[in-house]
Structure 1
């Protein structure tokens, strides 16, 4: 009996020694940091892409990442951005998305500005099943493919066209000419405008013409319409071509005039620091489509993003900053909700999340077609500059009427 007790006591002593040794080793071994969450960011950052726009999407996305990392990341995992330049080229966009997935092993991807580039990128995204939130790609064809991993927080042609047609009806326009660029975005918006006019039963005679986005001379096209000018000349041409088109429309005396309003459907006229030096007096009385204005109603999140951006860069953010932020926040919210970096779980979370973005509550539609996995209720405005060198914050909000800060102004009759 005594011998048995001694064996038990001896065994207990050994167990204590082993436990102490293990504890010592655990305390003396450095804790391995949690694996970071790797997010790819794809935007145009060099020519021939719209590199200024790409940089602004990047700036907004970085603010979203910095906010999360400052709070300890997601479940203790920091977010690491892998930034790639798509250069505004579909083949380059396809290649960098493939690299991000196969070489960098990113868990998800955010970004893009050019619809044509995104069309190439989402083929790779769909093949690998990696989630992607598009930041500023307006072509409806992207949604019509109904690819399960692809989501969109930006304005979209069908919604934009509805807004523009309602604005045209509001101001009583009956004849409209549209000059659209030769891209998926431009051609798609022209079609969306025709569809919206039919759907809304608008009393508008509408025609469109496709022009080269990179053209250096739009004068021959503009002169065709001067003999019988429309009520409104709508342009869907992104800069630098868009700036040149507006300048030449003014120089040939087509628009803006007392008869013909000049309306930008690309959202580019908000880039007033670049527009005024390029367009000059041609921008006075110009109106346009805007997904954001500093004097529109923002959420608390939106107000914080504006303040952070001003502190970092010393100027007002554009709508692209807001969309870059919203796209990244959507992805990070889905990863946190899923509590996983497994692609299928992130995709499922994206389908179900509802969260506060910069300009409203963001949730993705489950409808088919052009609304597929789109933030359908994104707020948009029509604005007008009435003086040369106005900032976007000084522009008059014309429409919707509940946001209006003034009425449409026209140049005096010559």
Structure 2
């Protein structure tokens, strides 16, 4: 994989442009405890799209430039980065993977009147109050995790254990699952990983007669040790392990777990078939990353595609950008992107983001199988 740029790097690509650049701030987790592999994929998508924008004339003849800041999964660091990028005069903000971090960035962007197109974070309450300044490409958590709950019920799982850590994101996911499963005869059993070892998790699963264990925890710790412990416990040979937040999407999961990495269903935001644009972008990203691009890389590309369209249409005036969200109509790598107001969601939302439940094929862990779509 290519080495990511430093936390203060800028990237404008090459192409037929001149004059002063149009700057867009990019918030990306590039160091621990951030999910570095996700950050690298997100940045690869952002940078590829910037290069293509500039190869086709930039923003009305001016080069588009990314000003990258590493959030390292730290909300305070992200807020400070938003303040710095605002002072630098960026036209808009893009990116972020971690929901809790994106929420902090979105709140600050809203307060400053700085347009922010969130690439990959799903927390429903991305801002405390409805805002005109923030739009989002990834589906809200309530939608994606309800699709996952449908998959669980369809697979015959009604007693679901969730291994959790303290986090607004994990707590929200647990609540969504419980609220959706309970009326349909399902039960959610919480296992607090601040008090349990991986071996103790196995005992809890047996005692509670759970048929599925969902990993609502960090990666690689403690997710990887939990998987190893459960896979080696003969009492749990029939239990399903799931990871709705997407830990198995990335190559590090397979590297750390080997054969144990397979048959762990997770959420992925890709269509069954990529469009011609998506297929072309997939090929270039694969060459750039040295591995198959995750859905996060496509989210990065689509983010810049949308922002470039907005900036070409209305220039760099921030208020005009925010006013344009409901009029966006851009062909992205995963479908036509348009924003609307969704009940219960405080930001402009792409309502038709594709949602899949997939896993790694046990016969070929490098290949993904689509198990369910919604």
Residues 280 and 388, structure 1, Cα contact 8 Å, conserved in 2? no
For residues 123-272 of structure 1, what are the structure 2 equivalents within 5 Å? 123-142=107-126, 145-197=129-181, 201-212=183-194, 217-241=197-221, 242-253=223-234, 255=236, 257-258=237-238, 260-271=239-250
More relative contact order, 1 or 2 (CA 8 Å, 6+ apart):
2
Which of 268, 283, 308 aligns to 2:261? It is: 283
Q: What residue is the counterpart of 1:324 in the other structure?
A: 300
Instruction: Report the Cα offset of residue 136 of structure 1.
Output: 1.4
Query: Which residue number in structure 1 is paired with residue 35 of structure 2?
Result: 50
Question: Which structure's CA Rg is the greater one?
Answer: 1
Cα displacement (A) at 1:389 = 5.3
Q: TM-score, normalised by structure 1?
A: 0.80
Who is 1:13 aligned against? none
Alpha-carbon shift at residue 252 of structure 1 (Å): 3.4
Cα offsets for 1:19-59 (capped at 9, x unmatched) = xxxxxxxxxxxxx9433211000111112222221121111
Match of 2:26 in 1: 41
Alpha-carbon distance in structure 1 between the residues aligned to 2:164 and 2:196: 15
Say whether 1:119 aligns with 2:103.
yes
Match of 2:59? Answer: 74
Q: Within 2, Cα distance between the matches of 1:132 and 1:62?
A: 17
Q: CA RMSD in A?
A: 2.3
Could you list the per-position Cα deviations for residues 256-296 of structure 1 after superposition, in whole angstroms to 9, with x for gaps in the alignment? x32x211111111121x212232233234332222238xx3
Structure 2 residue runs without a partner (length 5+): 1-16
Structure 1 unaligned spans of 5+: 1-31, 402-414
| Deviation of 1:146 (Å) | 2.0
Change (3 A) 1:270 1:73: same
Contact 1:146-1:368 within 8 A present in 2 as well: no
What does the per-residue CA deviation read over 1:366-387, in whole Å, with 9 as the maximum and x for residues that have no partner?
2342374122221111223342
Q: 1:216 to 1:283 in 2, by over 3 A?
A: farther
Residue number in structure 2 paired with 1:94: 79
Give the number of the structure whose residues are more often strand, by fraction: 2
Q: Secondary structure at the match of 1:226?
A: helix
Contact residue 25 and residue 93 of structure 2 kept, 8 A? yes
Q: Which has the higher helix share?
A: 1
Cα contact 1:229–1:254 (8 A) shared by 2 = no
Cα deviation, residue 78, structure 1: 0.8
